[in-house]
Amino acid sequence: MNKVGLLVLKKYLLKRIFFRILLVNCAIIGLIPGVSRAADITLGWDANTETDLAGYIVYYGTDSGVYSNNIDVGNNTQHTISNLQNGVTYYLAVSAYDFNNSESDYSAEVVYTIGNTVTTHTITASAGAHGSITPAGPVSVANGAHQSFSISAEQNYQILEVLVDGVSAGAVGSHSFNNVSANHTISASFVAVNQAPVANAG
């Protein structure tokens, strides 16, 4: 796959992907003394919106920028890597590729040591009638990670207002929480197109 070519032709690929660890599950392998525990790490990232996007590849290894393993996960935006060894630090990244098998550059690298506890926060996302927010509901986000939301109205309606932690962000079509360190809320309301939306105070 040609990473360099895609960077020249399609610089927009991965521009909105935020790569994060969603969940770590540890399980004991066997009952023999001295045998290391293994862990499963669930990873997630924001989806690309390009029509020619064919899928994603997850890369990981024990050296930064040098990934000894890769997994083609298709069009999924979440994947679980199994049997990682306790006490080992792993470096992980994701890339996108199109139907011509041209591949983007890596996302930002995620570093995780198996055995560490992942602190998570909840962002509660909701939408009123005549529109939607994606993703919706309670969204679990690892501490220090990023999470983006997109808001869209039904036909003949428009976004009236988006509230972030109870404060108006105006009639915006997207919002990102960066370096998440606490719980948050985001909600959207909608209005018929012949009524004016709320202006962004910022």
34 pLDDT higher than 60: no
Q: Which of 113, 138, 162 is the last residue of a domain?
A: 113
Q: How many CB atoms lie within 10 A of CB 121?
A: 18
Order of strands, edge to edge, in the sheet holding 131-134?
A: 131-134, 147-153, 174-177
Greatest Cα pair distance in the chain: 71
Which tokens sit at 187? 């909600």
Name the residue range of residue 152's domain.
Answer: 120-192
125 plus 187 within the same structural domain: yes
88 plus 11 within the same structural domain: yes
pTM of the model: 0.51
**C-alpha distances out from residue 196 to 116, 128, 161, 190, Å:** 49, 17, 10, 10
Q: Is residue 199 part of a domain?
A: no
- The residues facing 4 across adjacent strands are none
**CATH number of the domain bearing residue 52:** 2.60.40.10
pLDDT at 195: 66
Q: How many CB atoms lie within 10 A of CB 154?
A: 12
Phi, psi of 8 (to 5 degrees): -75, -45
Least confident of 89-103, 123-137, 154-168: 89-103
Question: What percentage of the chain reaches a pLDDT higher than 70?
Answer: 76
6 pLDDT higher than 60: no
Per residue in 67-118, pLDDT tens?
999 999 999 888 888 888 878 888 988 888 888 888 888 888 888 887 766 6
Print burial letters for 103-112: b (CB count within 10 Å at least 16), e (below 16): bbebbeebeb
pLDDT at 151: 96
**C-alpha distances out from residue 99 to 49, 70, 147, 196, Å:** 14, 19, 27, 41
d(CA 111, CA 89): 7
16 plus 108 within the same structural domain: yes
Q: Which helix (H) or strand (E) holds 8?
A: helix 3-9
Q: Which of 86, 113, 140 is the last residue of a domain?
A: 113
Domains: count for the chain:
2
pLDDT at 29: 29
The secondary structure of the chain in percent helix, strand, coil, rounded to multiples of 5, reads 5, 55, 45
Which tokens sit at 53? 């996007």
126 pLDDT higher than 90: yes
| Mean pLDDT, rounded, for 171-185 | 93
Q: How many CB atoms lie within 10 A of CB 4?
A: 10
Most confident option among 17-26, 111-120, 158-167: 158-167
Is pLDDT larger for residue 20 or for residue 136?
A: 136
Question: Using 50, 70 and 90 to split pLDDT, how confident is the model at 38?
Answer: low
| Mean pLDDT, rounded, for 8-30 | 37
pLDDT at 85: 83
